[in-house]
Amino acid sequence: MLAVLSPGQGSQKPGFLTPWLDLAGAEARLRWWSALAGVDLAHLGTKADADEIKDTARTQPLLVAAALLAAEHLPMYDVSVTAGHSVGELGAATLAGVLPAEAAITLAGVRGREMAAACALEQTGMAAVLGGDSDEVLAALDTHGLHPANRNGAGQIVAAGSLDALDKLAAEPPAKSRVIRLKVAGAFHTPYMAPAEAALAAVAAGITTADPRRILLSNLDGAAVNHGRETVQRLVRQVTSPVRWDLCMRTLADLGVTGVIELPPAGTLAGLVKRELKKTGVPEIVSLNTPDDLPAARDLIARHSGLRGHEPVIQFRVVVSPVAGTFEPDAELAEGADLRTGQVIGHIATRQGSVEVTAHDSGLLTEWLAHHDDPVAPGQPLARIGGHA
C-alpha cells in the first residue's frame, strides 16, 4: 500500500519550483492558480528569496500549488492513501477527490492571508522542543501557558504562544530536551488564530465537495475521513487546532503502508516518517523534488500500489473506519438493506468510547467487509454501498 504526502509551511526553499516550469502547461497552470490565490506563484517558486517566501500569505498557496503541480504527473489512481501536514491538507484533500484544485488554491490563499493578519494582532511565536519525555514536555508547556501546536512524532513537539512564555521555556527547558525558536510570524494552530478560522469558514461554506475516493488522513486525530463536508470542516478547525502528525504516522503504520512519496518541496515529512517508523518498519520513500525524480516515484507506485494487489479497493462507495478499535455492525442491517446518507451502520469500540460509523451515500448495503468483533484500523474498509435496485 502506498501513501502520497503533501508538506506544510517551513519546507519551502528558494527556486524549488524552477525545474517544474519546464514541463508542458506548468507555467500556464500557475498563472491561472495565481489569479485565484492573489499572489504570483511562478515568481514565488522561482525568483523569490527566502524572506519573501517565508511570508505566510505567500507561502501557503505556493506549497499547495507545488504539490498539485507535481501530482499531475503521477498515476494517482493507483495511490491508496493521502495525507498532508498543516496547509498540506488542502493538497491531500484535492488528491483524495474531495476538493477541485481551484478550490484548494483559493482556500490556501484565504488561509494564508487571514493567518498572516491574525499573527499581526499579538506578538506570538513558536519553538521546537526536541527530545525529552513527551508527557514532561506537554506539562512544561502547560505550566508556561503555551500550546502544543504541532506534535510531529520522532521526539518533536512545537510549542506556540506569547514570546515571553517562549523565552521562559527556552530558559528552563524540560529534562533532556532542546528548545529551538522557529522563524515564523506567530502562533499557528492555537486559539490566537481564531479570526483566521472564522474568515476561512465563511469562504469554505460555499465550496462544493465530494467524498474521498481514497483514504484521506486528518491532522486532527490521524483518522480516515469518510465525508467531503466533514473534511472541509476539519480543515477549517485545523487553523486553531494542533497538528497531530504523530497520529497520522501511526495510522500509516496501522494501514501497513509500504511505500511513501513526499510531494515537493520534499524532505521534511520523509525525515519524520523515517525516524518515527523505524521500530515498526520504515516504508520505501521517494522525495519528489524535481521532474528528474518522477521515474522513481512512478516505479514506487507500480510496485507498492495496494489497488493492484489483493487489498480492498478504496473507492467512493466504500465506507471506511474512522478510528482503530473493534467493529460492531448494526444487528438490524443485512446485506441488501437500503441505506440513506448519514445512516448509522455500526460502531467502533475504542478505549475512549464508542464511535459511530455512518453511510456517506445512499444505496444498497451490498457487502460487509468487516464483521462482529473484528479489529479494525483507521481507513480499513467496513462496508460496500452499491446502487439502488
Contacts of 52 (CB under 8 A, 6+ apart): 44, 58
Q: Strand 177-182 and strand 124-131: pairing?
A: antiparallel
189 is catalytic: yes
> Which is catalytic among the residues 85, 147, 189, 227?
189
Strand, helix or coil for residue 276? helix
- Helix boundaries (H) for 38-151: 41-46, 56-71, 88-95, 101-119, 134-143
Told to judge if 321 belongs to the known catalytic residues of this protein, a careful annotator would answer no
Report the C-alpha gap between 164 and 225 in whole angstroms: 38
CA distance 166 to 185: 14
DSSP-H helix ranges across the chain: 26-37, 41-46, 56-71, 88-95, 101-119, 134-143, 163-171, 194-204, 228-237, 245-255, 268-276, 294-304
**Cell (9 digits) for 95:** 488528491
Question: Which position has the grid cell 511565536?
Answer: 125
β-strands 344-350, 353-358 pairing: antiparallel
Taking Cα atoms as reference points, which of 106, 114, 112, 115 lies closest to residue 207?
106
Query: Residue 388 CB: number of other CB atoms within 10 A?
Result: 8
Among 11, 86, 134, 177, which one carries the catalytic annotation?
A: 86
66-87 CB burial, b ≥16 within 10 A, e <16: bbbbbbeebebebbbbbbbbbb
Q: Read off the amino acid at residue 143.
A: T
Question: How far, in whole angstroms, is CA 204 from its chain's centroid?
Answer: 17
Please calculate the CA angle 340-345-351 and round it to the nearest 5 degrees.
145
Backbone angles phi, psi at 216, to 5 degrees: -120, 120
CA distance 341 to 350: 24
Catalytic residues: 86, 189
